[in-house]
Amino acid sequence: MKIKRRDFLKGLAGSAVLAMAPPAIASSSEKNRLPDALGILYDSTLCVGCQVCMVACKRANNMPLEFYGPQKRWDNPVDLSSKTLNIIKVYENGTPKEKDREIDGYAFVKRHCMHCVDPACVSACPASAMTKDTKTGIVSYNKNACIGCRYCQVACPFNIPKFEWDNPFPKIVKCQLCSHLLAKGQIPACSNECPTGASLFGPVADLVKEAERRQNMTAGKYYEFPVSEISSTKKQVHKAKKYIPKIYGENDGGGTQVLMLAGVSFDKLGLPMLPDRSYTAIAENIQHTLYKGMILPIVAFGGLIFLVKRAEKKKKE
């Protein structure tokens, strides 16, 4: 059979009306750091593993204790969870004798939300419950907007958002950089309590400079390290360790506002090795290209209608 030109055009027009969604603006450009972004520089070589940041975090955010195993003596989470926003983990190898050494050594790592420059959770959230502050860049969660789909959990390359499986009215739980304390002019509890300056709070621009300064230090020499806050006048003198030549989070996964320095490679510390282009940028680029000007959907939809019409005609005949 042959389809009439008229029918084909009719079908095409119908499909266009049906797909009258506002055309998405294709923005494949990657996002850049916000000029006033706030973050944390975690220096694994300065961390002594005292876990006071975990205690401070629980206290500041009113989080319950978490017991792993039968002993209910210490707050001993084994991973981030709906009860734990911040955790110190340890890498151990062989007979862990020396700190910050990969073979027969050990090293600490502090894990919590990285506050990505281009956060996947915000991109994946269909309800705008995950938002990135336009000034500070803090990624926060609004429980009133959340529909509980947990896409953010799947999307996050760092496996950060946690779901309250044991709550009949569950929420997503993640570090929000102690926004409630920042509003009061205080700093995040973990950095505030850190005794060595391993967890250092400040504007990301300054933290990057500080991280670069540390990268250029000579191992074995003594340097001053600010404690708690980058602008703090309280400084401590530590012997610089040998840093691996990388600032984690500078570009990883499109960049993060939580930066890390370490003496052992970051994959050993359980951090994912991510491309410099964020997954968000890649995914959004594909999506935005497909839907650019609604041309491809219209063509595809029109084609479908054409096929249906043809089949109907065939049946009648």
Partner 1 sequence: MKDQNFAGPIREKLKGVSRRDFMKFCGVMAVSMGLPFGAGTQIAEAITNPKRRPPVIWLHGQECTGCTESLLRTSHPSLEHLILDLISLDYHETLNAGAGHQAEAALENSVKENAGKFIMVVEGSVPIKDGGIYCMIGGRPFADIVKETAAKAAAVIAIGSCASWGGVQSSAPNPTGATGVPEFLKGTTVVSIPGCPPNAYNFLSTVLYFLTFKKLPALDELGRPKFAYGRLIHENCERRPHFDAGRFAEQFGDEGHRQGYCLYKLGCKGPMTHANCPSILFCDVGSGAWPVGTGHPCFGCTEEGIGFTIPLHTEADIEIVTPAAEHAPIQTKRGAGISAGSAALVGGIAGVAIGAGAVVAKRLGDKNKGE
- Binding positions for partner 1, 201-240, rule CB under 8 A: none
Torsion-angle region of residue 201: left (phi > 0), alpha (psi -120 to 50) or beta? beta
Q: Are the C-beta atoms of 84 and 66 separated by less than 8 Å? A: yes
Cα separation, 289 vs 26, in Å, equals: 6
> Taking the complex as a whole, how short is the minimal distance between the CB of residue 206 and partner 1, in angstroms?
29
Q: Which helix (H) or strand (E) holds 284?
A: helix 279-290
Which residue of 61, 76, 153, 232 would you call a contact of partner 1, by CB under 8 A? 76
Binding mask 238-277 for partner 1 (x = CB under 8 A): ------------------------------xxx-------
Q: φ and ψ at 84, to 5 degrees?
A: -135, 120
- With respect to partner 1, which residue has the nearer C-beta, 78 or 311? 78
Question: What is the 3-class SS of 49-74, one letter each residue?
Answer: CCCHHHHHHHHHHCCCCCCCCCCCCC
Answer for which of 7, 19, 26, 49 binds partner 1 (CB under 8 A) is 49
Using the minimum distance from each CB to partner 1, give the nearer residue, 83 or 309.
83
Q: Which of 37, 40, 52, 139 binds partner 1 (CB under 8 A)?
A: 52
Q: Could you give the dihedral angle defined by the CA atoms of residues 137, 272, 94 and 247, in that order, rounded to the nearest 10 degrees?
A: -50
| Contact status: 103 vs partner 1 (CB under 8 A) | no
String of b and e for 167-192 (b: at least 16 CB within 10 Å)? eeebbbbbbbbbeeebeeeebbbbbb
Among 34, 46, 88, 230, binds partner 1 (CB under 8 A): 88
Q: Does 126 bind partner 1 (CB under 8 A)?
A: no
Q: Does 292 bind partner 1 (CB under 8 A)?
A: no
Nearer to partner 1, 178 or 207 (CB): 178
According to DSSP, the residues that pair with 163 across neighbouring strands are 172
Tokens 């998405």, located at residue:
24
CB of 198 to partner 1, least distance (A): 14
Task: Out of 30, 75, 164, 229, point to the residue binding partner 1 (CB under 8 A).
Answer: 75
Q: Where along the sequence are the contacts to partner 1 (CB under 8 A)?
A: 49-52, 54-55, 58-59, 65, 72-79, 87-92, 108-109, 268-270
